Amino acid sequence: MKQRKHLSPYRIMWLFVMFDLPVVTKKERKQAMGFRNNLLDLGFEMSQFSVYVKYCASGDRAEFVGVRIQRQLPPGGKVDILTITDKQFTNMKRFYATSRIKNDGKVDQLHLF
């Protein structure tokens, strides 16, 4: 019988995508919007302008999603992809204006794997 790996906060990953895209021409703006929509279609949520985050059940899944993002990058765009563990994510301090946002590590989206 095959043993299942348990969901450890050290194996679950969070994928951060930070990007700068050219938006001078109408074509560039359309490509930038398409890139953002592709991130949403992949299950990302916006954390800040040009910073999107996604919960991944494993490092392998995070790597797969990273490759898909790389293929969708418009010409002239710059993207940085950062992967951190769930344990590291829960230690992140988040603020909105002057109020601190509680980071309980819970995801607002449904993730089936």
**What is d(CA 60, CA 87) in angstroms, rounded to the nearest whole number?**
17
Question: Hey, what CATH topology would domain 13-101 get?
Answer: Alpha-Beta Plaits (3.30.70)
**What is d(CA 75, CA 19) in angstroms, rounded to the nearest whole number?**
12
pLDDT at 103 over 70: no
Domain coordinates in residue numbering, the chain: 13-101
Write out pLDDT tens, residues 19-62. Answer: 999 999 999 999 999 999 999 999 999 999 999 999 998 889 99
pTM of the predicted model as reported, rounded to 2 decimal places: 0.76
pLDDT at 5 over 50: yes
The average confidence (pLDDT) of the chain is: 85
- Compute the average pLDDT of residues 55-78: 93
